[in-house]
């Protein structure tokens, strides 16, 4: 029993994203576009102090303003803390609205609901807050200094501003370094970074007559929002319905419960009217979640021939005022520090540190861009000191299929060596390095990334991915999944996977996604590059069950062997050896429905890789070469060309992978060269895209990419991730190229013209 291959095989077909027409014509409906009768408009009052006790909040004038229907403060709410979902429940430290204390500029204090946005905004100005200002700390060093104020002094278990630590110990590190011929030790600093998604967050909540809440929200994790929102409201989980409309990007910034989601739901229940919150770009930039800034220290040892001996890695994460997704980032940073190369001995110490800054959360790569920026830079520096070509040094130590990461996983497929060889040949790497023109540079950066986080130390009653497939007698199928398309094109790929396996055209698949009341519980949303592999496997599980039932119908009618003789393709179910013995897909469904007295043909598919490694069932790999020009007078870096070779298993949709690659490079260039928060005493000063510089189309280089063929046995049709991993190598590749062009080695991102000119003594 199989789906036929050939001209009707959809795997590997470049199918344009199904949502493209709606988005380019403006017909796509986002959360901020939804209007309901009687809807109120919400606004949130945020702290102007970085660290202070709240002495009093006077909302009387705001309540008296005509058109204001509700005003709430922290003490009006159930005061239930939330945070890193169920992975680390003991680290949940955030209230929907601050009660006794504010911990950063932007900490939410009160919320208003009014008949129009202008009245709500005016009402905010009428709320008076009395503070007792407290000492504040903004850097990791200040937060850990003797006598530093405790940001979460209510938690008596914490003796410092380190909210948690993580460690990995593989082997005797001290003995290992004694055997090394060459050791280098470096300290790097990487900066916070905005997600800069095009659609600012928005939420609309409405309440029925029995107090049940339906919330339309810009999210990438509907089920996680449902769980946390129900918890903070103090109502049953099933009394919250989360619906995800179109989402204009997330990159990890929309995977938590956010304060406005709680406020919208809570105020809707109080007023009996729909309540909508829409954030501005200024709000997103000044106090929204961001990538963790980190202080990184890495000590790595080699033999003379370049063989790696040991690595000792230490990371301090600037988590801001709350844990958010920091506990997971702290662990994953150490996990990614052990990736790419065979480290026989590896130690990691990670520390999540509270400061009086906006909280940092999950962001594309989730600890990997930081960890691999220092590890890849060290490989480039070590190559020079050892007199070995940087690509040759990597090939010598590269992970290959079958390698083990002690206590974590066995690498089931790896095209890393092939990726390195491909970029070396296609860019004429060695030839160019020997003959670089003045002010030109060529650099290398590499990556590996997870294909869906599974966190197998975490016991849950739910599957990690689930879906439902319904087959109909008109020849169509309906796929229901809680997986979220947030702009990456997964709705198209998931329909492609189901259509290919059932032998149907893509337009014969209907998709319902991101609705907690309609779709199967168990899918944790879009993060960790998990959708294609995990939800794809759940789809194949459901599809297999559908095909087994339909194959029985065809085999009974034509006296066939069910297992070996029945195939699916071209919208038909037929004998593989003799296709004239068959029928259309719809006719087969009709037979099944009749045989089962009108019952619907429905199958549930699940996927939970319990025995497939500690954190993920599969890893992607890749190598990237950047070519740059640096203006000697201004220090301005122009990225001229980026060449990437990557192993993402079987490519389901090449057009989609190409889009992911280009978007990842754009994000990587911004992280490396231009995107940086300007902060003063905890206040974000650059709150528009005019002064928070995101690369535009004019800043993009020539991009060349190559797919390295591998087959991942754990992936659907052999596929694995092609989203987050691609955002990792750009920073170390550009940094290395800038060094080749100028002699300046960046250890504190971003690379700015001022830093380059200062290194040359020009300023």
d(CA 495, CA 473): 19
Can 2-27+462-607 and 34-134+196-287 be said to share one CATH topology?
Answer: no
d(CA 409, CA 515): 33
pLDDT of residue 563: 62
pLDDT of residue 652: 97
d(CA 322, CA 288): 12
Average pLDDT over residues 390-397: 98
Average pLDDT over residues 629-635: 97
Two tokens at 148?
């530093």
d(CA 10, CA 232): 44
d(CA 276, CA 67): 15
For 106-155, how does the pLDDT look when each residue is reduced to its tens digit (9 = 90+)?
999 999 999 999 999 999 999 999 999 999 999 999 999 999 999 999 99
Least Cα distance to 267 among 84, 14, 69, 453 occurs for 69
What DSSP string runs through 328-383?
HHHHHHHHHHT-SB--SEEEEEEEEEE-SSPPB---TTTTHHHHHHHHHHHHHHHH
pLDDT of residue 331: 92
φ, ψ of residue 73 to 5 degrees: the values are -125, 175
For the chain, which residues make up each domain, given as ranges?
A: 2-27+462-607, 34-134+196-287, 389-455+613-759
Q: What is the pTM of this model?
A: 0.96
- For residue 691, pLDDT over 80 is answered with yes
d(CA 330, CA 328): 5
Write the class of the CATH domain 389-455+613-759: alpha beta
For 704-753, how does the pLDDT look when each residue is reduced to its tens digit (9 = 90+)?
999 999 999 999 999 999 999 999 999 999 999 999 999 999 999 999 99
What CATH number does the domain located at 34-134+196-287 have?
A: 3.90.1170.50
Confidence of residue 524 (pLDDT cuts 50, 70, 90): confident
The domain 2-27+462-607 is placed in CATH, from the list 2.40.220.10, 3.40.830.10, 3.40.50.300, 3.30.365.10, at 3.30.365.10
Count other Cβ atoms within 10 Å, centred on residue 116. 12
- Of all residues in the chain, the percent with pLDDT exceeding 70 is 97
pLDDT of residue 380: 98
Average pLDDT over residues 239-264: 97
């Amino acid at each position: 029993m199989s789906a036929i291959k050939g001209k009707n095989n959809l795997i590997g077909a470049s199918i344009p994203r199904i949502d493209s027409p709606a988005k380019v014509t403006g017909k796509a409906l986002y959360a901020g576009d939804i209007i309901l009768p009687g809807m109120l408009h919400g606004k949130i009052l945020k702290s102007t102090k970085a660290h202070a006790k709240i002495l009093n909040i006077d909302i009387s004038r705001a309540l008296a303003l005509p058109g204001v229907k509700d005003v709430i403060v922290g003490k009006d709410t159930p005061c239930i803390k939330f945070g890193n979902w169920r992975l680390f429940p003991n680290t949940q430290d955030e209230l929907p609205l601050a009660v006794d204390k504010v911990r950063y500029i932007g900490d939410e204090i009160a919320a208003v609901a009014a008949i129009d946005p202008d009245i709500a905004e005016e009402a905010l100005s009428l709320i008076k807050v009395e503070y007792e200002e407290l000492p504040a700390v903004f850097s990791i060093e200040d937060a850990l200094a003797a006598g530093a104020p405790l940001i979460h002094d209510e938690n008596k278990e914490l003796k410092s501003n380190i909210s948690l630590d993580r460690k990995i110990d593989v082997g005797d590190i001290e003995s290992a370094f004694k055997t090394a011929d060459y050791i280098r030790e470096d300290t790097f600093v990487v900066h916070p970074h905005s997600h800069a998604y095009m659609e600012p967050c928005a939420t609309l909540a409405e309440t029925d007559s029995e107090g049940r809440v339906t919330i339309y929200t810009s999210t990438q994790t509907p089920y996680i929002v449902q769980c946390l929102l129900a918890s903070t409201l103090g109502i049953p989980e099933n009394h919250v319905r989360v619906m995800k409309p179109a989402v204009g990007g997330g990159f990890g910034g929309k995977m938590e419960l956010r304060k406005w989601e709680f406020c919208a739901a809570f105020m809707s229940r109080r007023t009996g009217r729909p309540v909508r919150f829409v954030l501005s770009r200024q709000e997103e930039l000044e106090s929204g979640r961001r990538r963790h800034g980190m202080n990184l220290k890495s000590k790595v040892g080699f033999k003379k021939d370049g063989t790696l001996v040991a690595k000792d890695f230490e990371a301090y994460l600037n988590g801001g005022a709350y844990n958010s997704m920091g506990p997971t980032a702290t662990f994953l940073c150490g996990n990614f520090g052990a990736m790419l190369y065979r480290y026989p001995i590896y130690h990691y110490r990670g520390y999540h540190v509270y400061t009086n800054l906006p909280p940092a959360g999950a962001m594309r790569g989730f600890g990997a861009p930081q960890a691999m920026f220092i590890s890849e830079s060290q490989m480039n520096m070590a190559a020079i000191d050892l007199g070995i070509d940087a690509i040759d040094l990597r090939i010598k130590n590269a992970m290959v299929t079958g390698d083990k990461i002690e206590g974590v996983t066995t690498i089931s497929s790896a095209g890393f060596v092939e990726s390195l060889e491909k970029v070396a040949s296609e860019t004429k790497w060695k030839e160019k390095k020997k003959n670089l023109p003045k002010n030109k540079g060529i650099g290398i950066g590499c990556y590996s990334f997870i294909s869906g986080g599974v966190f197998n130390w975490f016991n849950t009653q739910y599957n990690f991915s689930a879906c439902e497939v319904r087959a109909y007698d008109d020849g169509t199928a309906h796929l229901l999944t809680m997986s979220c398309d947030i702009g990456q094109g997964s709705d198209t790929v998931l329909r492609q996977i189901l259509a290919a396996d059932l032998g149907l055209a893509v337009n014969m698949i209907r998709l319902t996604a991101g609705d907690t009341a309609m779709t199967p519980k168990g899918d944790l949303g879009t993060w960790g590059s998990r959708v294609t592999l995990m939800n794809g496997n759940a789809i194949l599980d459901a599809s297999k069950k559908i095909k087994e039932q339909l194959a029985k119908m065809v085999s009974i009618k034509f006296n066939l062997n069910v297992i070996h003789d029945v195939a699916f393709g071209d919208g038909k179910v037929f004998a593989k050896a003799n296709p004239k013995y068959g029928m259309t897909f719809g006719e087969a469904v009709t037979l099944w429905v009749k045989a089962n007295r009108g019952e619907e043909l429905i199958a549930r598919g699940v996927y939970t890789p319990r025995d497939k490694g500690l954190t993920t069932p599969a890893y992607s790999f890749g190598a990237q070469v950047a070519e740059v020009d640096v203006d000697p007078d201004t220090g301005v870096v122009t990225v001229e060309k980026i060449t990437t070779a990557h192993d993402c298993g079987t490519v389901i949709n090449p057009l989609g992978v190409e889009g992911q690659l280009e978007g990842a490079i754009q994000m990587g260039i911004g992280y490396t060269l231009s995107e940086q928060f300007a902060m003063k005493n905890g206040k974000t000063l650059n709150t528009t895209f005019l002064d928070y510089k995101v690369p535009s189309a004019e800043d993009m280089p020539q991009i060349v990419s190559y797919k390295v063929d591998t087959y991942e046995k754990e992936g659907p049709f052999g596929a694995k991730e092609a989203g987050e991993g691609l955002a990792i190598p750009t920073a170390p590749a550009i940094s290395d190229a800038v060094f080749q062009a100028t002699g300046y080695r960046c250890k504190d991102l971003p690379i700015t013209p001022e830093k380059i000119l200062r290194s040359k003594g020009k300023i």
